[in-house]
Amino acid sequence: MAEIEVGGKRIGGVELLIFDKDGTLMDLHSYWSGMIRMRAECLAERYVEPGRREGARLELADAMGLGPGERIKPGGPVGIRRRDYVIEVAHKALMKYSGSARIEDVADAFMRVDGMSVGKIKEMARPLPGVRGLLLDARKKGVKAAVATVDMKGRAELALSAMGIGGLIDFVAGGDMVEHPKPAPDLVDLVSGRLGVGKEKCVVVGDSIADLGMAENAGCRFIGVKTGLYDAGFIKRCEYVAEDLTGISIC
């Protein structure tokens, strides 16, 4: 077991670090703004008449969570909620422009964009400061590392690989692998059970209130980072806070 130091405070008895992906390991604004744009374009091109496509693209992007300056909105839903929820939101927005599009058509468009994005994944998936260094240090000092994300497992593994850190992660738990999304404890329960580490020996690292809620509901300790969708209320509730992963060290 190891001690984790954050802001002059120490957390003892740690065997496993469980990281959120978007906004904690990866720049969620770069990745998800690109995915939202492609999804909105695909849906507008396939289901909206030419004269209304620009308006549809803008409304679809807004509904999925793209805000000003190519920034993801703090409330998402992209980056916060599971894919099935985002599909429902996109379908509702699309229905204003195309009454014939079914929710299955939106799900199919999302799958098509997944395929289109593979060739662009390296430019979209950008690691945040300190990610590789912390993961290498964890490996060196015998602390396991896992990812718990609302993203699908396959997509998460693709992004982690593109960032060159896939080999440093012991297990990836995706939102498609559990019944209840964050802030439910299901993802932590899955990771803890799969890696054989008690939750009292796990520390969750994340950037959002959903990550904090997941840790609290699972009975784990938590470190908040200011690199994603955090706000003042989130920071106030965190006992341990780092600017980014460079502010976390393993003693």
* 102-153 tens-digit pLDDT: 999 999 999 999 999 999 999 999 999 999 999 999 999 999 999 999 999 9
CB 144 within 8 A of CB 18: no
* 147-164 tens-digit pLDDT: 999 999 999 999 999 999
pLDDT of residue 99: 84
Q: Three-state SS for 235?
A: helix
Domains in the chain (CATH in brackets) are 2-26+126-250 (3.40.50.1000), 29-123 (no CATH)
Of 164, 154, 219, the residue nearest 18 (C-alpha):
219
CB 218 within 8 A of CB 199: yes
* 46-91 tens-digit pLDDT: 999 999 999 999 999 999 999 999 999 988 999 989 999 999 999 9
The structure's pTM equals 0.92
What pairs with residue 17 in β-bridges? 145, 203
pLDDT of residue 1: 87
CB 225 within 8 A of CB 46: no
- Measured in degrees and rounded to the nearest 5, phi and psi for residue 103 equal -65, -30
Q: Which residue has the higher pLDDT, 39 or 230?
A: 39
CB 214 within 8 A of CB 185: yes
Mean pLDDT to the nearest integer, 198-211: 97
Alpha carbon distance 196, 249 (integer Å) = 23
